[in-house]
Structure 1
Amino acid sequence: MTNLYVDLSVLQTVPSSNINRDDTGAPKTALYGGVTRARVSSQSWKKAVRDVFKQDHVSAGKRTKQAANLLATELKNLDATLDDETVQAKVAEVFKLAGIKVDKKKDNETGALLLVSRGQIAKLAQYAIDNEELDKKEIKKVLKGDQSLDLALFGRMVADNPELNVDASAQVAHAISTHEVVPEYDYFTALDDEQPEDNAGAAMLGTIDFNSATLYRYANVNLNELAHNLNVTDAIKGTADFIKDFLLSMPTGKQNTFANKTLPSYVMVTIRQDTPVNLVSAFENPVVSHSGYVAPSVTRLEGEYQRTQAYVDEPVANFVLGKADSQIGTTVAKLSDLLDQVTAKLSEVMQDEDTND
């Protein structure tokens, strides 16, 4: 089967904010091109995407140490006559055969976070009720099937039993600013509403670190791997769901303090058959501007796309949202148009693959 990748390049400007903090409470940064850049970790943005999946009723699993207790709850929901001792015995046997250790001293917690879909928990419970003797291979089959979209996209690593690992079909880069940033901080005070009039002092004071930036965000999806984890139809729909929620999500660090929820200024979606391409090299030489960073960043990004064409095959399709006069690919006016056209093109390519097979 021919490779099929979807590249997603996004420019998004964020005002004063601290959406992803380091261990000191300051916004994360990276040194790139010899200067300090604002940075938002891939893990942080993937968590934001998973949260929006849940809001949009997209299939999303649970990443938790409480998987054994989720199974216990599901067993009781399926058969209310089961007593606690029987439930705990079945749960213990399922996880033992799955090769996942649980700590009875810590309320049956797993040693590490485990991403499981609701369908997997439901099928495990049904299997445990329907069968007196449980089979290791069947349990593994359940835990590898019925994957939620976030599990199929971002994968799963199970240190206790690598056989349950799921290869990720999506890669998400750390977002970095297209330009140098200078860290800033806000000195704040708070007054006690009930303090005496002759007391002019603050009841609380402190500082909050922040920066503002135009971010370059990048992600890609391997359609064949996603189809392997799900199926072709769900992979195509899941890719559209991921694009939408990747664009509309934002990590919530200090959101109430800065109200920094913005939307992308520019989006490029490229469908390729040879290799994914991160266009961050467009900004290795930091953008310098005194009249905003978005416009020169768009010019740099499109220029880098043109430069990389000397190294890669002609893409299957390229769609641009946010620049009506773009000379690369097909321009679209709305996000809904972008999603429709990407879905149509992916369906066409995947159908051609089936026909050729």
Structure 2
Amino acid sequence: MSLFLEFHVIQNFAPSNLNRDDTGAPKDALFGGHRRARVSSQCTKRTIRLGFKEHQLLPPQNCGVRTLKLRDLLVERLCARPADEAAMKVEAVLSAAGLKFKDDGNTEYLLFLGDGEVSALASMIDASWDEVVVSAEKKSKKDAKAGAAGNLGKKAKALLDGGKAVDVALFGRMLADMPAVNQHAACQVAHAISTHRVEREFDYFTAVDDRGDEDSAGAGMIGQVEFNSATFYRFAVLDLNKLLGNLQDDRELALAAVHAFTLALARAIPTGKQNSFAAHNPPEFVGVCLRHAAPMNLANAFEKPVAPRRDESITEQSVRAMAAYKDKLEAVYGSHEDQWLALDLSGQWPTGSGAATKSLQELADAVQAVATKALTEKG
């Protein structure tokens, strides 16, 4: 039985530059023939991952790390061993497992590993210390790989099982050199787009030299920053069955992940240029739907952009437009088993559209309860 948790968020941001492109301008996109503000899915996922740690929503052992410096990370865990020797032995074992290293000791691409995987690798290398023979004079990758004794490479690869890291289970990973340890994501995150059309604005700024000469009349620095202000529609969907499988059928951890994800998603505010704009604006609406057929992204509610009005905010109009589009879509594609929960500060979500909650914590508790029941009924 398919079980999807959909997350629908309406969030208005004050003037800001939350997620920049290669020119430093706020990211945008064409949608419905109109220019929209955009925050990339990658940006949102990283903010959620950081939120797990910042707000201590998950134990450290159930979080992952994305890094090029796996060798250095393992050397830190092997602190009782000589650092130079540990570095060579770590690289020897991981090379035998199939990973490739650059001359500076970094891996060729970013690795996404659970804390449990890193700990298991360190323990295995420490326990097999004398089996890994590496020439102190010949440190080439070929020599290192040849010096890795026995089946240590296979053992290392076998330890890369996700390590019950929730963020790895949610967002997946791909290791080009070791496809056997790839993990398909349990969560999909859409690019957030504004519900209305936007125009870029420019902030021309100057900076004064506090110790400038008396005859210096000009500024010590001038420049400009692009920014915008937008009400975003954000969407993410979580496959409960896939999440449970990725977490090695640990039901308690999967339900804790659902609770943590609900909190982290709602609190996810990108950090781009926040020292300049301080756009710390939480969502006005967070809706969660347990879907039994197929996920439904409601972005097309805004294919025709919301237009500003004097008597009503764009946020209020956006929530109402999304609710109307939800009803139209569900009449055709929905299931009678679908179940909505909502945290609505706009006052525009229909009272008959699922259970209303009064706080984010209450919403997260309710989502976890719904997921618990769904997984229990699944068997």
Q: TM-score, normalised on structure 1? A: 0.93
Give matches, 1:1-357, under 5 Å: 2-57=1-56, 58=58, 59-76=62-79, 80=80, 82-84=81-83, 86-103=85-102, 105-106=103-104, 108-131=105-128, 132=131, 133-230=150-247, 231-291=250-310, 292-309=313-330, 310-322=332-344, 323=347, 326-354=351-379
Instruction: From the superposition, tell whether residues 196 and 128 of structure 1 become closer, same or farther in structure 2 (CA, over 3 Å).
Output: closer
Structure 1 CA distance for aligned equivalents of residues 83 and 373 of structure 2? 52
Q: CA deviation at 1:348?
A: 1.2
Matched to 1:250, the amino acid is I
Residue aligned with 1:144, SS: coil
Q: Mean Cα displacement is larger for which, 266-275 or 317-326?
A: 317-326
Q: CA deviation at 1:135?
A: 4.1
Q: CA deviation at 1:137?
A: 4.1
Q: TM-score, normalised on structure 2? A: 0.88
Residue aligned with 2:209, SS: coil
| Contact 2:306–2:314 under 8 Å retained in 1 | yes
Q: CA deviation at 1:50?
A: 1.3
Q: Which residue does 2:143 correspond to in 1? A: none
Q: CA deviation at 1:298?
A: 0.5
| Contact 1:223–1:236 under 8 Å retained in 2 | no
Structure 2 CA distance for aligned equivalents of residues 28 and 302 of structure 1? 27
Residue aligned with 1:274, SS: coil
Q: Mean Cα displacement is larger for which, 59-68 or 138-147?
A: 138-147
Flag structure 1 segments of 5+ consecutive residues without an equivalent. none
Residue aligned with 2:333, SS: coil
Structure 1 CA distance for aligned equivalents of residues 378 and 155 of structure 2? 31
Matched to 1:340, the amino acid is D
Structure 1 CA distance for aligned equivalents of residues 121 and 112 of structure 2? 14
What's the RMSD between the two structures over aligned residues? 1.6
Structure 1 CA distance for aligned equivalents of residues 5 and 357 of structure 2? 17
| Contact 2:323–2:350 under 8 Å retained in 1 | no
| Contact 2:5–2:240 under 8 Å retained in 1 | yes
Matched to 1:305, the amino acid is K
Residue aligned with 1:275, SS: coil
| Contact 1:8–1:219 under 8 Å retained in 2 | yes
| Contact 2:113–2:162 under 8 Å retained in 1 | no
Residue aligned with 2:159, SS: helix
Structure 1 CA distance for aligned equivalents of residues 15 and 75 of structure 2? 45
Identity of aligned residues (%): 39
Aligned length: 347
Instruction: From the superposition, tell whether residues 40 and 315 of structure 1 become closer, same or farther in structure 2 (CA, over 3 Å).
Output: farther
1:224-260 per-position Cα deviation (integer Å, ceiling 9, x unaligned): 1111111222111101101111110211110000000
1:307-331 per-position Cα deviation (integer Å, ceiling 9, x unaligned): 1111122343210111475331111
Structure 1 CA distance for aligned equivalents of residues 300 and 284 of structure 2? 19
Residue aligned with 2:87, SS: helix
Q: Mean Cα displacement is larger for which, 177-186 or 145-154?
A: 145-154
